Amino acid sequence: MVADPSPTTWSDRFEQGLHPAIERFNASIGFDIALLQEDLDGSVAHARMLGRCGVISEPEAERLIEGLEAIRSEAAAGRFTPGLEAEDVHFAVERRLIELLGPLGKKLHTGRSRNDQVGTDLRLWLRRRIDAIDAALVRFERALLVRAEAHPDTLIPGYTHLQRAQPVCLAHHLLAYVEMAERDRQRLADVRRRVNICPLGAAALAGTPVPIDRRQTAAELGFEAIYANSLDAVSDRDFAVETMAALSLVMAHLSRLAEEVILWASEEFGFVGLTDRCATGSSLMPQKKNPDVPELVRGKSGRVFGHLMGLLTMIKGLPLAYNKDFQEDKEALFDGVRTCLDCLEAMAVLFEEGLDFRPARLEAAVAADYSNATDVADYLVARGVPFREAYQLVGGLVKACLLEQRLLADLPLERWQQLHPAFEADIHAAIAPRQVVAARRSEGGTGFERVAEQLALARQRLDRTP
Ligand code: ARG
């Protein structure tokens, strides 16, 4: 159709083009093209609103929308590939629209600025990605839950300070990560409420004399509310920081689990074996099977934390309202979201089919330490001995056993009774690992019945989740 694009983007105030190095330096098209769909969605809503409000005629609005949809089709066919001269995705779309529609295309930007536009695009983009991360968290939780359900009475050493502390149910251990993931989902849902507020119509910073209807565009784009203050609307990036903070915690949780899997897969622990689906070999050592997947997850957590610091530092000194510094928010968000999605998927696959727990090794581990010492003390407490006194007595007993190189379970009844007359023949049963675990019936504890309750609750919750 009519081809009448302006030779440069700027007004006639400018006489010279940008220095090529500065053109490259200034441009964000290389990465913000990722916002194309959202930019088109925002512009379609804006054009329709301009028509309804009588700022442009309804047929003009219709033609603008058709032009925008034509650009969407071109992009789908791989035929929309703006270069550096477009500077950013917003200009790229507007230029193409003017190429397609002629002078009418120049009406789209009425009552709008790239400042409110980019904020709108980013929020639309983030809203979708938060939903994708939520779905990825659910898949990850399901993978953990299926494993937990497969091991309702497998035991695993429980640690504090990475020293054997007390045995726990393997399911209980895995469910702890399900709890973390649930909190991550709640946190993201909360952040999403603040992402879902529309800045469009704040224009450059002060609002606009054009008789627009901000609520119409906000409603059409599915936003829950509009920003109350135009200055705040174009300069708020709290939602980006909050999202990155929430993603950082997701990554911290994944990284902790990754670290455990790495330990568990070592020869020293031997609690899990890695399947060929998720492990890698060494280019040199033929015997090696390496846990690259959890190592990468652990390593990638650093980039997301880095983006959080980057965003905070980027906003901290900015006067109101828009500053170009904000252009830096995009790569952080894009990379943070992609990293988090990739890691959630990788950890879900790892638990779905990348590892096998080794019940025999786990069984042997919990039977071969002093992690039942607290239960000996609790045994005496149940028979009227004050806890601190029992604690001291058992400490002495453990010391003696260490010297004799025997376990508490191997001590004959006479030894127990020498230590304290309250011991009876049932002491051996009381300190068997399975009994030690079963006895921890306090709410939230690792006792089998408690864990069964938690498994059922998690199952119910996940079955109800789409
Ligand atoms: N590419 C810009 C960004 O990412 C779009 C907004 C530019 N606004 C401006 N006044 N220069 O923030």
Domain shared by 95 and 136, yes or no? no
How would DSSP label each residue in 261-318? HHHHTSTTT--EEE-TTT-B--SS-TT--B-HHHHHHHHHHHHHHHHHHHHHHHHTTP
Choosing from 109, 114, 125 the residue with most ligand 1 atoms within 8 A of its CB, the one to mutate for a pocket test is 114
In a domain, 2, yes or no: no
Q: Is the model's pLDDT at 257 over the cut of 50?
A: yes
| Catalytic residue flag (residue 46) | no
Domain shared by 135 and 234, yes or no: yes
Residue 115 beta carbon below 6 angstroms from any ligand 1 atom: yes
DSSP code of residue 351: I
Q: How big is the chain by its Cα radius of gyration, in Å?
A: 31
Beta bridge partners of 197: 225
At 8 the pLDDT is: 60
**Domain check: are 100 and 162 in the same one?**
no
pLDDT tens digits, one per residue of 194-219:
999 999 999 999 999 999 999 999 99
pLDDT tens for residues 50-85? 999 999 999 999 999 999 999 999 999 999 999 999
| Residue 251 lies inside a defined structural domain of this protein | yes
Is position 161 annotated as part of the catalytic site?
Answer: yes
Task: Check whether 284 has a pLDDT greater than 90.
Answer: no
Are 352 and 372 part of one and the same domain?
no
Together in a domain, 101 and 118: no
How many other C-beta atoms lie within 10 A of the C-beta of residue 369? 17
Counting every residue, how long is the chain?
Answer: 466
179 and 53 within one domain: no
Lowest mean per-residue pLDDT among 9-13, 91-95, 256-260: 9-13
Query: What proportion of the chain, given as a percentage, has pLDDT over 70?
Result: 98
| Same-domain pairing of 204 and 234 | yes
- Domain span holding position 437: 366-463
- pLDDT of 350-409, one tens digit each? 999 999 999 999 999 999 999 999 999 999 999 999 999 999 999 999 999 999 999 999
Expressed in angstroms and rounded, the spacing between residue 32 Cα and the centre of ligand 1 is 10
d(CA 27, CA 6) in angstroms, rounded, equals 18
pLDDT at position 337, please? 98
| 3-state SS assignment for residue 243 | helix
**In terms of domains, do 194 and 269 share one?**
yes
pTM: 0.95
| 339 contacts: CB under 8 Å, gap ≥ 6 | 251, 300, 303, 304
1 within some domain = no
Q: What tokens were used for 32?
A: 């913000």
For residue 282, which phi and psi values (nearest 5 degrees)?
-105, 150
Q: How far apart are CA 11 and CA 87, in angstroms?
A: 15
Q: Ligand 1: does its nearest atom lie under 6 Å from the Cβ of 118?
A: yes
Residue 329's pLDDT band (cuts 50, 70, 90):
very high
Nearest to 446 by CA among 223, 173, 225, 230: 173
Q: How many domains does the chain have?
A: 3
Q: Which of 327, 331, 334 to mutate to test the pocket of ligand 1 (most atoms within 8 A of CB)?
A: 327
Tell whether ligand 1 has an atom less than 6 A from the beta carbon of residue 9.
Answer: no
* Final residue of a structural domain among 335, 364, 393: 364
How far is 118 from 124, CA to CA, in rounded Å? 10
CATH number of the domain at 98, please.
Answer: 1.10.275.10
Structure tokens, 201 = 């119509």
Whether the CB-CB separation of 431 and 409 falls below 8 Å is answered with: yes
Atom of ligand 1 nearest to the CA of 88: 1
**Domain annotation covers residue 3:** no
Residues in a beta bridge with 168: 156
What local confidence, expressed as pLDDT, does residue 1 receive? 41
Last residue of a domain, one of 107, 124, 157: 107
CATH number of the domain encompassing residue 407: 1.10.40.30
For residues 262 and 168, state if they share a domain.
yes
Of 309, 338, 364, the domain-final residue: 364
Tell me which residue of 264, 256, 261 sits closest to 301, measured CA to CA.
256
Is any atom of ligand 1 closer than 6 Å to the C-beta of 323? Answer: no
> Does any ligand 1 atom lie closer than 6 A to the CB of residue 327?
yes
Q: 230: number of CA atoms within 13 Å, CB side?
A: 16
Cis check: omega of the bond before 456, within 30 degrees of 0: no
Number of other CB atoms surrounding residue 415 within 10 Å: 16
* Active-site option among 6, 73, 266, 282: 282
56 domain-assigned: yes
The span from the CA of 260 to the CA of 272, in Å, is 10
pLDDT single digits (tens) 96-155: 999 999 999 999 999 999 999 999 999 999 999 999 999 999 999 999 999 999 999 999
Peptide bond before residue 321 is cis, with ω within 30 degrees of 0? yes
For residue 6, is pLDDT > 60?
A: no
CATH number for position 214: 1.20.200.10
Residue 13 domain flag: no
The reply to whether 89 and 131 lie within a common domain is no
Choose the residue to mutate in 109, 117, 118 for probing ligand 1, maximizing ligand atoms within 8 Å of C-beta. Answer: 118
73 token code pair: 């089709």
Question: Dihedral of CA 382/384/386/392: which sign?
Answer: negative
Residues 274 and 289 in one domain: yes
Q: How far is the CA of 112 from the centre of ligand 1 (A)?
A: 13
**317-340: average pLDDT:** 98
Of the CA atoms within 13 Å of residue 131, those in its CB half-sphere come to: 7
pLDDT-derived band at 282, boundaries 50, 70, 90: confident
Mean pLDDT of 214-232: 98
Nearest CA to ligand 1 atom 3: 327
Identify whether residues 353 and 416 lie together within a single domain. no
- The closest-lying atom of ligand 1 relative to the alpha carbon of residue 87 is 1
